[in-house]
């Protein structure tokens, strides 16, 4: 017979292992390494999305999306997401004032922050800053499609809260809370540190 103390001691390693496993499953799981990947066998299954879901169009008949890059668990495709795909979509907007910049699938402008870094990719916007400038994030049940943006320029980082923030050219990207509709660029130049993000991660500024 085992005493209560022996049973309790024997359960400690199991409990510790369970905590570690939960941590691994719940974390963002960022992986700085990336690689080109072969064609995907089929489009991902449709699931509910809490992020900026693609303004999707039907794929060409008989053609499956091709994975252009993988980073950890995230698959990144070139082009526009097929209808019904749970995806974060990146598009390009050509603005006469600032030139080409990146938006999400709903046309909402995306920004970069001069106090962040791209090499390595680090976000220095948290707390109230992240309320004013919400990060564009991706969930583990989603994929990412980039239309007009080189997929090799796209990735993600793990934020302090465990969420996965999209990067373009290494720069973490954000929304501006005061942008009310697609095409708004009210965050451009705010504080001299916030700028719409160009397709290569540079600042989108007037020529």
Buried b (16+ CB within 10 A) or exposed e, 16-52: eeeeeeeeeeeebbbeeebeeeeeeeebbeeeebebb
**pLDDT score at 1:** 55
Rounded to two decimals, what is the model's pTM?
A: 0.75
Q: To the nearest 5 percent, what fractions of the chain are helix, strand and coil?
A: 15, 30, 50
Rounded Cα distance between 89 and 97, Å, is 23
Compute the C-alpha angle 171/45/22, nearest 5°. 65
Sign of CA dihedral 37, 40, 44, 49: positive
pLDDT of the chain, 207 residues: tens digit per residue: 555 555 445 444 444 444 333 343 456 764 444 433 333 333 333 333 334 444 333 345 446 788 999 999 999 999 999 999 999 999 999 999 999 999 999 999 999 999 999 999 999 999 999 999 999 999 999 999 999 999 999 999 999 999 999 999 999 999 999 999 999 999 999 999 999 999 999 999 987
Domain residue limits, the chain: 34-196
Q: Residues 69, 57, 139, CA angle at the centre, nearest 5°?
A: 45
CB atoms within 10 A of CB 60: 9
| Residue 136: per-residue pLDDT | 99
Tell me what pLDDT residue 28 has: 79
At residue 87, φ and ψ (nearest 5 deg) are -145, 150
| The predicted structure's pLDDT at residue 6 | 53
* Alpha-carbon 160 to chain mean position: 15
């Amino acid at each position: 017979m085992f005493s209560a103390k022996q049973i309790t001691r024997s359960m400690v390693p199991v409990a510790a292992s369970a905590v570690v496993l939960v941590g691994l499953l719940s974390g963002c799981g960022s992986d700085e390494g990336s690689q080109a990947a072969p064609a995907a066998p089929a489009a991902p299954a449709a699931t509910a999305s809490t992020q900026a879901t693609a303004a999707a169009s039907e794929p060409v008949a008989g053609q499956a999306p091709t994975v252009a890059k993988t980073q950890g668990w995230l698959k990144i495709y070139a082009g526009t997401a097929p209808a019904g795909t749970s995806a974060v979509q990146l598009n390009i907007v050509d603005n006469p004032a600032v030139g080409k910049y990146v938006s999400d699938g709903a046309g909402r402008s995306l920004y970069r922050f001069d106090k962040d870094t791209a090499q390595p990719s680090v976000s220095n916007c948290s707390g109230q800053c992240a309320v004013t400038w919400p990060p564009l994030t991706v969930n583990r049940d989603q994929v990412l499609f980039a239309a007009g943006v080189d997929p090799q320029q796209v990735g993600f980082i793990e934020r302090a809260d465990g969420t996965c923030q999209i990067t373009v050219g290494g720069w973490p990207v954000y929304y501006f809370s005061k942008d009310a509709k697609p095409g708004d660029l009210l965050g451009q130049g705010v504080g001299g540190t916030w700028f719409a993000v160009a397709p290569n991660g540079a600042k989108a500024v007037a020529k």
